[in-house]
Amino acid sequence: MLNEISIRNFAIIEALSVTFEKGLTVLTGETGAGKSIIIDAIHLLVGGRGSAEFVRHGEDKAVIEGLFQLDDPKHPCYRKTSEFGIEIEDGMVVLRRDISKSGKSVCRVNGKLVTISTLREIGSTLIDIHGQHEHQELMDETRHLSLLDQFGGNKISNALAEYQGIYKSYESTLKKLKNLSENEQQMAHRLDLIQFQMDEIQSAQIKINEDEELFEERRKLSNFERIYDSLQTGYNGLQGEQKGLDWIGMVMGHLQDAAELDPAYKEIAENVSNSFYMLEDAARSLRNEMDFMEYDPQRLNEIEDRLNEINGLKRKYGKTVEEVLEYAAKIEEEIETLQNKETHIDKLQKEVAALKKDLLVEAEELSRLRKKAALHLTKLIHKELKELYMEKTVFEVRFSSEPDGFLKNGIDRAEFYISTNPGEPVKPLSKIASGGELSRIMLALKSIFSKHQGVTSIIFDEVDTGVSGRVAQAIAEKIHHVSVNSQVLCISHLPQVAAMADTHLFIAKNIKDGRTKTTVKPLTDDEKIKEIGRMISGVEITDLTKEHAKELLQLANQLK
């Protein structure tokens, strides 16, 4: 859910922080008070189009921040943020958007800078804004199939997973077959190229870690003189004129005499004796090393030439010797395939044919489950529309086959069709005109799909325009029904909707120091009665109006 939004220097809002609760939150107030401005700010927060016009006059930039709390560990926002390398801790997501007076936007998700398109992708998993003129997911026919799949639940998701597993193998095999069946001349050129590369790598006879061993040997030869001098100095210190070992031998003899007289010195004597013999062995090893050390400038040249050869191969075929050898193994297999192309083509054609049969079986089963789910969805939609006094409306899910054959999600196309008037043919949902009917249709669809879409919050921006009476009451009940599964924020002019609110926020604007400011205030029970009364009668609120408002609130509590 959306926990809190902070807005600074946005339109007529100087500084505003609003905390939202679960369930249905209704925002009301006089026309022009700033209700839609708050929704506009939320819309920009989740990736909507911004401009310099949103920045409050006289300020450098507008800043909008929102805190979202994800209670479901499987919420789609987790998957989406992980795609962009963004971490979510304790289920909290913080979105921030800065809009400068030049019109430039800076977007952040949990402190990480992102593009507007990334913000929009993440925001779409958190909030769905529905207004009279907003382009919505439900109005996008390309999304209808995935919505139907979500509605179908585990049966469709499992069938789709089975299909996609085979489809992946089918696509991979088909690609191999296509590559192998390309122009003969291209294949011949390709074979000549990789055969040349193979000969070049094989003739070099490189071995794993060879370059590292050569680097080490070159380092030793390049520092031969310094190494020899250091060994010579060390040997002379032990066995040369300084007679280091002779002095330690003398110390060892005296300590052994002391130990014979007093056992307390035995351990010290033994330590010195051990050190003497160890140093004696070290001196012999130094002598042997120096005897066998030989500077070979020719070997240094050979190492340089070999390293140049290996580096040349790495520049062409891989960053390391291992990668060069892996590339050689890869093209060796490709050479064998191209040299025996006809055999491989025949094998791949048989694999494609077998996979196609399996794919068709899974696709038809998936299609059967979708059509079954579509019938169930149709019944539920008709039920919802009947409750909204649109019992004559006809809803259909129409299927068509993919003209290009198999695709990632099956062989089906699905689109929602509807007719709101008896005798009129059904038309695509996207072609329905906006207005009161569209509001009710969208509410019916939201009532069902809100359980399956996983969106954190749904915003209805004056979707109740053009309705009244019993239809208004039905819409109020339906909006509250949607809020059971998703947090709902609703701007409304209907007292019936306001009465159903779990939280009622009153938006007002005041003029201070010659500037207009917007304020937001949660209403108490008494204040709710007064505000609903204002919505019923207008400016003048009578005792009768208050009684009517109380009745609406009592009815709403009973329905909830």
- H or E segment at 107? strand 105-109
Query: Token pair for residue 525?
Result: 């029970």
Beta partners for residue 100, in sequence order: 61
Strand partners, 65: 6, 96
Q: What is the mean pLDDT of residues 403-428?
A: 86
| Res 134 pLDDT > 60 | no
Sign of the Cα torsion 10, 16, 17, 21 reads negative
pLDDT > 80? residue 128: no
What SS3 state is found at 422?
coil
How much of the chain, in percent, has pLDDT values that exceed 90? 41
- Per-residue pLDDT, 466: 61
**Who contacts 349 (Cβ-Cβ below 8 Å, separation ≥6)?**
177
DSSP 55: B
Q: Closest by alpha carbon to 8, among 47, 41, 32?
A: 41
- As a dihedral over the C-alpha atoms of residue 401, residue 406, residue 411, residue 414, rounded to 10 degrees, the angle is -80
**Is residue 49's pLDDT more than 80?**
yes
Between CA 26 and CA 452, with CA 504 as vertex, the angle to 5 degrees is 40
Phi, psi dihedrals of residue 101, rounded to the nearest 5°: -70, -10
Q: When comparing pLDDT for 33 and 528, which is higher?
A: 528
Please classify residue 46 by burial: count the beta carbons closer than 10 Å to its beta carbon, then call 0-12 exposed, 13-18 middle and 19+ buried: buried
Gap between the Cα atoms of 170 and 178, Å rounded? 12
Q: Is the pLDDT of residue 144 over 80?
A: yes
Specify the 3-state DSSP secondary structure of 318: coil
Q: Cβ(405)–Cβ(375) under 8 Å?
A: no
Predicted confidence at residue 483, as pLDDT, reads 84
Integer Cα distance of 502 and 497 in angstroms: 11
pLDDT at 544: 86
Burial of 226 (0-12, 13-18, 19+ CB in 10 A): exposed
Residue type, 332: E
Q: Quick one: average pLDDT of 154-169?
A: 94
pLDDT recorded at residue 453: 59
The sheet carrying 394-401 orders its strands as: 394-401, 412-419, 427-428
CA gap 318, 330 in Å, rounded: 12
463/493 Cα distance (integer angstroms): 10
Reported as a single tens digit per residue, the pLDDT across 518-559 is 888 899 999 999 988 888 887 677 788 888 889 889 888 887
The pLDDT score that the predictor gives to residue 559 is: 79
Residue 459: which H helix or E strand, with range?
strand 457-461
Strand partners, 520: 507
SS (H, E, C) 21-54: CCCEEEEEECCCCCHHHHHHHHHHHCCCCCCHHH
Q: Compute how many other C-beta atoms are within 10 angstroms of the C-beta atom of residue 222.
A: 12
pTM of the model: 0.59
- Tell me the DSSP string of 297-343: HHHHHHHHHHHHHHHHHHHHH-SSHHHHHHHHHHHHHHHHHHHTHHH
* Distance (Å, whole) CA 451 – CA 397: 19
Q: What tokens appear for 548 in the block?
A: 């009517």
Distance, CA of 508 to CA of 487 (rounded, Å): 23
Let me know: does 490 contact 497? Beta carbons within 8 Å: yes
pLDDT exceeds cutoff 80 at 290: yes
Three-class HEC string of 525-559: HHHHHHHHHHHHHCCCCCHHHHHHHHHHHHHHHHH
Assess whether pLDDT exceeds 90 at residue 225: no
Rounded (5°) CA angle 476-480-482:
120
Q: Encoding tokens for residue 537?
A: 């009668």
Q: What is the pLDDT of residues 431-459, one digit of tens each?
A: 775 556 777 777 788 778 776 655 567 77
Q: Stretch 298-319: mean pLDDT, rounded?
A: 93
* Predicted pLDDT of residue 462: 67
Query: Distance between CA atoms of 46 and 24, rounded to whole angstroms?
Result: 20
Residue 529, token pair as written in the block: 């009665």
pLDDT in tens, 476-510: 888 888 888 788 888 888 899 899 999 999 988 88
C-alpha closest to that of 300 among 378, 215, 203, 237: 215
Q: 307 forms bridges with which residues in the sheet?
A: none
Which of the two residues, 482 and 211, has the higher pLDDT score? 211
The mean pLDDT of the chain is 87
Dist. CA 497–CA 443, nearest whole Å = 13
Q: Are 385 and 391 in contact (CB under 8 A)?
A: yes
Question: Can you read off the two tokens belonging to residue 339?
Answer: 């040299």
